[in-house]
Amino acid sequence: MGNKVLTMLLIMCTCGIMGQDIKNEKPKTFKNSIKIRPLNFFVNELVLDYERMIDPKSSLHITAGQGYQKDRLLVGGTVENHTSFLEVDYRRYFSKDKIAPRGWFAGAGIFGLYELDRFKNIRGTVDPNFDRDYFSTGVSVDTGYQWVFKNGITIGLSGGADLRIPIDHSINSSSIRPNLNFSVGYSW
C-alpha cells in the first residue's frame, strides 16, 4: 500500500512540474479532455472521463466505469460484485479569466448503474450458487476545480453527491452518497 501511495505522489508531482504554465503566454484553447481516476484503482474500479467543451464557459462531461469486488461471507461461500455505470453531466465554469475546461465549475447530471452479485457455495440454501442483479438510476451534483497546463496535462478535483434511485423492485430505498474525485488526463 505504501509503495502505491508513493508512486501516486511521484506521478502527481511529475505532472505538476511538467505542466507549469508561464503567466505571460496566452492560454491555449482545449476542446476535449480524457481522464482516468487513479485512486479508484485501489478499490478495483476503472473509471474514465471524457469532457467536450460546448462553449467558452460550459462543457459536456461523460463518465463510464467498471468495478469488481470479491468478499467471503460469514455463512460460508463468496460473493462477487460486478458494477457498470454511465454518467452524463453538464458543467458550468465560473472563472472570469479562464475558459472551459479550466478553473472552478459546478455540474449536474444523470446516471445509470447496473450491479450483479454472484453468490457461490452458500451453505444452508436450496441453491448454493445464484445471481442477483440490480438496476438504478439517479441524479448527481458536483463542484470542483480543474487545471489544464499548456502541454495538455489535466488534473481535476471535485466533490458532490449522488441520489441513487432503484428501478428494480427488490431494492426499495433510495440513497444519497457523497463522492470525492481526483482525475488525471490529457486535453487537446
Cα separation of 188 and 185, whole Å? Answer: 10
Report pLDDT for 22. Answer: 47
Q: What is the pLDDT of residues 98-148, one digit of tens each?
A: 888 999 999 999 999 998 988 887 777 667 777 888 899 999 999 999 999
The domain ranges of the chain are 33-187
- pTM assigned to the model: 0.79
Of 83, 61, 65, 39, the closest CA to residue 141 belongs to: 61
33-187 CATH fold: Porin (2.40.160)
Of 43, 47, 38, 41, the closest CA to residue 70 belongs to: 43
Q: What is the pLDDT of residues 13-62, one digit of tens each?
A: 555 555 454 455 566 789 999 999 999 999 999 999 999 999 999 999 99
Q: What is the pLDDT of residues 156-184, one digit of tens each?
A: 999 999 999 988 766 667 889 999 999 99
Report pLDDT for 2. Answer: 60
Map 2-29 to HEC letters: HHHHHHHHHHHHHHHHHCCCCCCCCCCC
